[in-house]
Structure 1
């Protein structure tokens, strides 16, 4: 068994038994390392996770998002119209090319 480095004795008020905890140097080192690791993980998560968004910013983002959706929809409609005009122009060009070739 490893050498005891620290003993913790807990007396409960009115409890008939005591709780004894014997810790070795290795166990204390593991506990300290686990505490430091969890503390650093909490700090890292606190810095990487964005804070809450207030209602003014949320409303502004929703407005911008809606505007972008409308612009994308309008662009898609414009592209569709250009594609139909392009196909009409290609058909007209093909007819002209056939007439010139005759």
Structure 2
């Protein structure tokens, strides 16, 4: 099972949607969605985008391009990209700063 198939299946389950529900929201046929789920066809970019929009997830995530959680916003993905460029020392500094900022909200 490809990452795309796994994510499509998981997202349908989490959203309590059936293939027919996704078909209605996207204009794709239930048959094509079934073909994607069972690996008979590979989804093209425009269909991935349609399904991602209907499911409320990022198209890159659904396609298996990005390894980020399903509900991640673009802003969070941007921060993650920056995080990955930091040294271990700088990551420690950022973690301390975030902990401090999160703790100061309660005051």
Do these two structures clear the TM 0.5 threshold for a shared fold by scoring above it? Answer: no
Q: Which has the larger radius of gyration?
A: 1
TM-score by length of 1: 0.23
The structure whose RCO (Cα within 8 Å, separation 6+) is larger is 2
